[in-house]
Amino acid sequence: MAYTLLYHPLSSYCMKVLTALYESGTPFTPKSVNLQDEAERAALLKLWPVGKFPVLRDEDRDLTVPESTIIIEHLAHQHPAAASLLPSDPKLALAVRAQDRFYDLYVHNQMQEIVGDRLRPANAKDPTGVESARKRLATSYDMIERDMASKAWATGGQFTMADCAAAPALFYGNKVQPFEATHPKLAAYFGRLKERPSFKRALEEAQPYMKFFPTE
């Protein structure tokens, strides 16, 4: 199998896909993209005109696969070692997809709203939008706290695509709106995620770039 992943180590959605690749042991060629480099940006736009990563190139099937969830689903269907990330049972698969969407939409995207505002110039700040994102993030934390009362992973006893989504969302979420002192069950789940070798590896690869994460 000839997979090439266009990504950046600091990107949370890229971490999600890297976690899935490392978790399943799927062989791939990593290609880090510097969007400030005109040639590298042009190469990404040629494959995916939206210009966002991650993007997976499946050379064996001559397919360009964008979007983190779709990339992981593609791997689960095509690469046997990745199949456990998305159960074959339709009901279980639906539960995984539901949790994947929850972490992307109600944790990850709220975190990104806060981070994005930090990158805006002073005259373009959106305090109302940030406040709304913080409220939604707080609600999500409360929901996870209740949900993790009797589970090891996002959908039960097995690590799945939903946990690949949860790991980077919670990692960065904890930076912009800490939860470890207020949500013990969520914090325990996050601790398990940080110790998972697949996500741990993705985090280690991102460390040289963490200095670029906006803290204020």
**Domain residues of the chain, as ranges?**
3-85, 90-196
The pLDDT of residue 1: 60
**How far is it, in rounded angstroms, from Cα 107 to Cα 22?**
23
Q: What is the DSSP letter of 153?
A: B
Domain 3-85, CATH:
3.40.30.10
CATH classification for the domain delimited by 90-196, as one of 1.20.1050.10, 1.10.10.10, 1.10.1750.10, 2.30.30.40: 1.20.1050.10
75: amino acid identity, one letter: L
The pLDDT of residue 97: 98
The pLDDT of residue 11: 95
Cβ neighbours of 167 (radius 10 Å): 29
The pLDDT of residue 2: 86
The pLDDT of residue 196: 98
Q: Is 34 exposed, middle or buried (0-12, 13-18, 19+ CB in 10 A)?
A: exposed
The pLDDT of residue 80: 83
Q: What is the pLDDT along the chain (216 residues), one digit of tens a residue?
A: 689 999 999 999 999 999 999 999 999 999 999 999 999 999 999 999 999 999 999 999 999 999 999 999 999 999 888 889 999 999 999 999 999 999 999 999 999 999 999 999 999 999 999 999 999 999 999 999 999 998 999 999 999 999 999 999 999 999 999 999 999 999 999 999 999 999 999 999 999 999 999 987
Alpha helices in the chain (DSSP H): 12-24, 38-47, 68-78, 90-102, 109-119, 127-147, 161-176, 184-195, 197-206
Give the global pTM: 0.95
